[in-house]
Amino acid sequence: GQSLEQPSEVTAVEGAIVQINCTYQTSGFYGLSWYQQHDGGAPTFLSYNALDGLEETGRFSSFLSRSDSYGYLLLQELQMKDSASYFCAVRAAAGNKLTFGGGTRVLVKP
């Protein structure tokens, strides 16, 4: 099976940088995704890393190290609207489906 670990909660102030780590254990690996979910809302896709390295999309970046079974999501220049839960999800070799982590709640303070 698959398991993912990420911190349950992170608090930071506006303008700061937050890094959300995700470690995973899978039987086979295709890639790591990140999703954002505001309270009561639907998750929205942020990024996908299939290869080692850093992918940058605006204020958000995602990193993957396949050898370490580790990735992170970097949120820069934090804004109040970034307060949300962030989920990492792994696409394993067994079936075309995603397994999600428990989520990290990010609270941005003024």
Partner 1 sequence: DGGITQSPKYLFRKEGQNVTLSCEQNLNHDAMYWYRQDPGQGLRLIYYSQIVNDFQKGDIAEGYSVSREKKESFPLTVTSAQKNPTAFYLCASRRDEANYGYTFGSGTRLTVV
Residue ranges in contact with partner 1 by CB under 8 A? 4, 30-31, 33, 35, 41-45, 47-48, 87, 89, 91, 95-103
Paired with 72 in beta bridges are 21, 63
Q: In the structure encoding, which two tokens stand for residue 109, read together?
A: 């303070």
Which H, E and C letters describe 65-81, residue by residue? ECCCCEEEEEECCCCHH
Please say which residue, 40 or 110, places its beta carbon nearer to partner 1.
Answer: 40
Please say which residue, 70 or 100, places its beta carbon nearer to partner 1.
Answer: 100
CB of residue 88 vs partner 1: minimum separation in angstroms? 9
CB of residue 71 vs partner 1: minimum separation in angstroms? 14
Residue 19's nearest CA partner among 57, 75, 85, 90 is 75
